[in-house]
Structure formats: structure tokens, C-alpha cells
Amino acid sequence: MSPTRLYRLVARAEAVTWALLLTGMFLKYVTETTELGVQVFGMVHGVVFIAYCLTTVLLFVDRRWSAGRLALGLLAAVPPFATVPFESYAERAGILGDSWRLRSEDPRGILEKPTAWLLRRPVQGLVVGILAVAGLTGVALVVGPPA
């Protein structure tokens, strides 16, 4: 999967889960009919939020984004639906790309070496990504919701 396609997928998934969570919050706090939407979609949104952030860091390393672009990409996950305009901006600006640079280019530095390993072994990279999302979700569950 190309960087552009992956980023588009997770950015839009993050926006969809925001919509589901906001719907759940409406049902819980406005209509006071059920908490189920918040319970279910809160967890789903949290998982996709983490996946989006990890994907943003992956692109930061592979595409050599500036720290400012990384910060914008990560901050886009906070307000509802902001990942979609950021993804569109990133595609228009040409900072996503059609192929992974580190699949063919020699890695340099402490961040590029493990990233290249993950990108050159897509099955292992996917497993590591799933484990990273699961691990960070577990940490978030232990820490608890934002105050």
C-alpha cells in the first residue's frame, strides 16, 4: 500500500470514528437515551486515533517531514474531522508519495533504520503496527480518560 493510500485510509477512518463518537455523545448527553454509543465508539475512536498518530510518525520518518509538519499532522487528530483536510493538504503538497522511500533507499539514523526494517517486511511491519496500537491502547486504558 502506498503512503498516500495508507494515510488517506487512516485519516478518513479517524474522521468517521469522530462522527460516531459525537453521535454517541449526543445520545448520552442530549437525548439521555443511552451510553452505549460513547462506550463502543469511544474505544473505536481511541484505537483509530492511535493508528493515525503512528501512521503520521511513520510518514514523518519515511518522507522526511519537518517537525512542524509532524506537529500539524498529530494536532489534526485532536479537533473533529481535521485529519481529512490535513490529508488533502499533504497530498496536494506532495509530502505523501506513491512509494516508500525507505524500501529502496539506505536508512540513515536511529529512526530510519527500524522504519526501513518495518517497511521492507510488510507482514512483520503490520504485526508490529497492530501490536503498537494494542499496547498504546492498553496504556491509555490504564491511564484513563482525559480529565
- What proportions of the chain, in percent to the nearest 5, are helix, strand and coil? 75, 0, 25
Q: What is the pLDDT of residues 109-138, one digit of tens each?
A: 999 999 999 999 999 999 999 999 999 999
Mean pLDDT, the chain, rounded, equals 95
The proportion of the chain whose per-residue pLDDT surpasses 90, expressed as a percent, equals 90
Domain with 121, as residue range(s), is 3-143
Give me the number of domains the chain comprises. 1
- Mean pLDDT, to the nearest integer, of 3-12? 97
Q: What is the pLDDT of residues 29-74, one digit of tens each?
A: 999 899 898 999 999 999 999 999 999 999 999 999 999 999 999 9
Q: How many helices (H) and strands (E) does the chain have?
A: 6, 0
Asked whether the beta carbons of 37 and 64 are under 8 A apart, the reply is: no
pLDDT at 37: 87
Taking 80 as the threshold, does the pLDDT of residue 147 lie above it? no
Least confident among 92-96, 113-117, 126-130, 142-146: 142-146
Taking 90 as the threshold, does the pLDDT of residue 20 lie above it? yes
Q: What is the pTM of this model?
A: 0.93
Query: What span, in angstroms and rounded, lies between the C-alpha atoms of 80 and 34?
Result: 22
